């Protein structure tokens, strides 16, 4: 936008010094908005915490039009105490994120209702030891009903079940949910807790789009298992979308494999989203650490992101890819600093630790 009047001298000076947010040195490019560039394709989102809204608020407001809570809506955080009274819940962190999204006209994904991690162990305990299947399902219904009722209209898509399939493609039998209510009493081929979770969610907010979300479902036995699960849930009218998490590495990501998975999943009549995108700069299984992101890896990351987003644009549309959410926005806050090697710095996102666009950013917005 051109200023209508000449700028006051102080602003010209601030601009030349790079103090103003939008200003830049001659020859430097303005930083476009991911959300604006991708408007014709799909919403672009980021996972956030209340703390990152303070640390990265300007960047988030400028770059994305969708948010997801990195942790604030997980059971352990939002429902830390037993029972289902309001006093059992801690909505404050989630509410902060919802308020930010509202203020900036962003949509929100809800993450996540059923997961084997970040869930209190007491949920699976009863009076005489292990809780009964019915007790656990009752607790699940109460939890889902409370959250979906509270966030109706604010959260339009929920990751109802997260990571229910193991890496071999079998059901994840080490999940406490599976152990408590994983039997398939109605013989529909799906552990009952999964179907029940989707039923509870459907009943609590019929307007919400319900997702199954998982990692590594783009290939191999895990993809086949995800296809079977989603097909069966879809036949019951219980699922609307699948989230491919997208925690990949610059050494392993295979955009064409992702394309095929998007097509196969979408062919079941559900939407597909990339829900937790980041590209680690380490090879999976490598536990070494580097002091900084070397230029060759930075370039490799840019190429990988560029190739992925080319696929994303080509697969975008109502019967295909309907959203891409990053698991963070800038390298000063990433879960990969703690996983899989605690304390090791990683640089998986499009903006650097100073919130400056990386080569990867430019390869995503320019093609």
* Residue closer to ligand XIL, measured from CB, 71 or 260: 71
Closest CA to 58 of 346, 351, 293, 306: 351
- Shortest distance, position 276 Cβ to ligand XIL, whole Å: 6
The yes or no reply on residue 70 touching ligand XIL (CB under 6 A) is yes
303: annotated active-site residue: no
Task: State how beta strands 321-326 and 44-48 pair.
Answer: parallel
Residue nearest to ligand XIL (CB): 335
Task: Check binding of 76 to ligand XIL (CB under 6 A).
Answer: no
| In the complex, least distance from residue 110 CB atom to ligand XIL, rounded to whole angstroms | 12
> Restricting to residues 87-146, which ones interact with ligand XIL according to CB under 6 A?
none
Which of 63, 162, 281, 301 binds ligand XIL (CB under 6 A)? It is: 162
Residues 14-53 that bind ligand XIL (CB under 6 A): none
Residue number, 51 or 138, with CB nearest to ligand XIL: 51
**In whole angstroms, how close is the CB of 119 to ligand XIL at the nearest point?**
11
Computed on alpha carbons and rounded to an integer, the radius of gyration of the chain in Å comes to: 21
> Which tokens go with 206?
């019929």
301 belongs to the binding site for ligand XIL (CB under 6 A): no
Q: Does 71 bind ligand XIL (CB under 6 A)?
A: yes
Measured from the CB atom, the residue of 31 and 60 that comes closer to ligand XIL is 60
Q: Choosing from 49, 218, 271, 276, which is the catalytic residue?
A: 276
Catalytic pick among 49, 70, 163, 315: 163
Q: Which of residues 308-337 bind ligand XIL (CB under 6 A)?
A: 335
- CB nearer to ligand XIL: give 143 or 365: 143
Pick the closer one to ligand XIL by CB: 70 or 192. Answer: 70
At closest approach, how far in Å is the CB of 228 from ligand XIL?
A: 21
Pairing of strands 125-126, 66-69: unpaired
In the residue annotation, 276 being an active-site residue is answered as yes
Residue 279 bridge partners (DSSP): 248
Selected binder of ligand XIL within 192, 205, 218, 276 (CB under 6 A): 276
- Number of residues near ligand XIL (by CB under 6 A): 6
User: Shortest distance, CB of residue 15 to ligand XIL, whole angstroms?
Assistant: 37
For tokens 């997980």, name the residue: 74
State how far the alpha carbon of 27 is from the alpha carbons of 22, 23, 30, 95, in Å.
14, 11, 9, 42
Query: Which CB sits closer to ligand XIL, 47 or 140?
Result: 47
CB of 327 to ligand XIL, least distance (A): 6
| Per-position x/- string for 227-256, each x denoting binding to ligand XIL as judged by CB under 6 A, each - no binding | ------------------x-----------
Please report, as ranges, the residues that interact with ligand XIL according to CB under 6 A.
70-71, 162, 245, 276, 335
Question: Which residues form the catalytic set?
Answer: 163, 276
């Amino acid at each position: 936008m051109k200023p209508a009047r000449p700028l006051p001298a102080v602003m010209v000076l601030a601009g030349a010094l790079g103090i103003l947010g939008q200003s830049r040195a001659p020859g430097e490019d303005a930083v476009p908005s991911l959300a604006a560039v991708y408007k014709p394709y799909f919403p672009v989102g980021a996972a956030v915490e209340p703390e990152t809204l303070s640390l990265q608020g300007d960047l988030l407001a400028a770059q994305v039009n969708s948010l997801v809570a990195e942790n604030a809506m997980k059971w352990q955080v939002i429902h830390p105490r037993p029972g289902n009274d309001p006093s059992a819940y801690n909505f404050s962190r989630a509410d902060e994120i919802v308020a930010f999204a509202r203020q900036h006209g962003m949509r929100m994904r809800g993450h996540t209702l059923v997961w084997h991690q970040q869930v209190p162990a007491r949920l699976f305990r009863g009076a005489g030891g292990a809780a009964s299947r019915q007790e656990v399902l009752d607790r699940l219904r109460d939890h889902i009903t409370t959250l979906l009722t509270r966030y109706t209209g604010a959260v339009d898509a929920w990751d109802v079940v997260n990571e229910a399939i193991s890496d071999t493609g079998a059901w994840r039998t080490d999940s406490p949910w599976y152990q408590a209510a994983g039997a398939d009493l109605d013989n529909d081929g799906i552990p009952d807790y999964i179907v029940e979770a989707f039923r509870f969610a459907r009943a609590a907010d019929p307007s919400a789009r319900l997702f199954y979300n998982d990692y590594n479902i783009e290939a191999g036995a895990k993809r086949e298992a995800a296809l079977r699960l989603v097909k069966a849930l879809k036949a019951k009218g219980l699922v609307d979308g699948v989230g491919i998490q997208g925690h990949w590495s610059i050494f392993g990501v295979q955009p064409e494999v992702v394309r095929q998975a998007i097509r196969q999943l979408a062919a079941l009549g559900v939407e597909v989203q990339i829900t937790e995108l980041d590209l680690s700069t380490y090879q999976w299984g490598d536990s070494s650490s580097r002091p900084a992101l070397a230029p060759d890896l930075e370039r490799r990351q840019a190429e990988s992101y560029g190739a992925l987003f080319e696929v994303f644009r080509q697969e975008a549309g109502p019967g295909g890819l309907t959203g891409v959410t990053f698991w963070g926005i800038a390298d000063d806050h990433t879960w990969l600093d703690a996983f899989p090697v605690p304390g090791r710095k990683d640089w998986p996102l499009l903006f650097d630790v100073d919130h400056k666009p990386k080569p990867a950013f430019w390869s995503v917005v320019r093609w």
